[in-house]
Amino acid sequence: MKSNDLILQTSTRVVFFIIFLFSIHIFFAGHYTPGGGFVGGLLMASAIVLLLLAYDFKTVKEVLPFNYLAMTAIGMLIALTTAAGSLVFNVPFFTHWYDYFDIPLLGKTSIHTAMFFDIGVYLVVVGITLTIIEMIGGDN
Amino acid sequence: MAFQILLNVFIAFVWMFLSNSFSSATFIIGYLLGLIMLFMLRRFFTSRFYLGRVWAVIKLGGIFIKELVAANVAVLKVILKPKLDLRPAIFEMETELKQDWEITLLSLLITLTPGTVVVNVSEDRTKLYVHAIDFDNIDDAVDSIRSTFEKAILEVSRS
């Protein structure tokens, strides 16, 4: 007898967004409170894994048509560029810099180059996790 | 439903622009004015006035909490009984609900009230298979679910 995954799928459609939002929140909270790129990336990957559990491989590939290997490469590139950017200003490799900006809606916000490095980490973690899962669980 | 809420928010924004003050207080005043307008013109919409649906959701929450307490007390009685004379069973229950979220909500509500667990949904989505911990009569169990949860969910989704 084939089982009906209706309850799991409908719940996943709701829960996915909550995990996604929480992942973004954890990512931005990483500067002053626990969190950061690594945990946020793992949460995002786990949200996609939940989708993979509820639906089949092909559906998720259609919904999220990302090339995860390319995503990993882009993440590495962003992290390296942020680290190498300090060389332009004649300071040692990996020196970070921050300043306060007036952004509409958010008000006075401090922008730190560590955040861009974290975006790179986030992308690498999501990409690597899902590459591994695709390699193991993929059909072909 | 969604269109009415969107229209209501739009009216509130228009009110904010007209009164030239962009604060939350103005938005709330505009929203209430929009509610009155929508209520006056409710016959022009294909679905019913949306506050009725909001009220139905609140009522469903109330029913759920009431049932949760009552069923937990019933299960506590079953646990504390010195003699175990349980009669577990799995029975089939026809449901009138059609949409995905309705069936899921009904299943989750049945599962969260102790004494009953939804085991599976049939392939054509017309039947739920429910496991009951201690039951005397199938019709009673089905009727109690029908009269409480299913009716409340139908009340929410009624257009």
Cβ contact A7–B107 (<8 Å): yes
- How close B46 gets to chain A, by Cα (Å)? 27
Secondary structure letter of residue B44 according to DSSP: G
- Gap between the Cα atoms of A81 and A116, Å rounded: 9
pLDDT in tens, A52-104: 999 888 888 888 888 999 999 999 999 999 888 888 888 888 888 777 777 77
From A7, A40, A47, select the one nearest A26 (Cα to Cα): A40
The average pLDDT across A40-53 equals 93
Contact residues on chain A for B120, CB-CB shorter than 8 A = 3-4
The average pLDDT across B125-131 equals 87
From B82, B111, B106, select the one nearest B94 (Cα to Cα): B106
Q: How many CA atoms lie within 13 A of B48 on its CB side?
A: 11
Q: Which of B92, B99, B123, B125 to mutate to test the interface with A (most CBs of A within 10 A)?
A: B123
Q: What is the pLDDT of residue B137?
A: 66
* B134 pLDDT higher than 80: no
The average pLDDT across B14-29 equals 90
Angle at A30 between CA A28 and CA A35, to 5 degrees: 110
What is the residue range of A63's domain? 5-138
User: B98 and B144 in contact (C-beta within 8 Å)?
Assistant: no
The average pLDDT across B139-155 equals 80
- How close A10 gets to chain B, by Cα (Å)? 6
Contact residues on chain A for B123, CB-CB shorter than 8 A = 2, 4
Please tell me which residue of chain B has the smallest CA distance to A11: B104
The band of A129, judged by pLDDT with boundaries at 50, 70 and 90, is very high
Q: What is the pLDDT of residue A138?
A: 67
SS3 (DSSP) at B150? helix
Q: Is B60 an interface residue toward A (CB < 8 Å)? A: no
A127: Cβ contacts below 8 Å, ≥ 6 apart:
A68, A69, A70, A71, A72, A73, A75
Q: What is the pLDDT of residue B95?
A: 86
Strands (E), B7-98: 89-94
Buried b (16+ CB within 10 A) or exposed e, B128-149: bebbbebbeeeeebbeebbebb
Q: What is the pLDDT of residue B114?
A: 77
Cβ contact B120–A4 (<8 Å): yes
Q: What is the pLDDT of residue A71?
A: 93
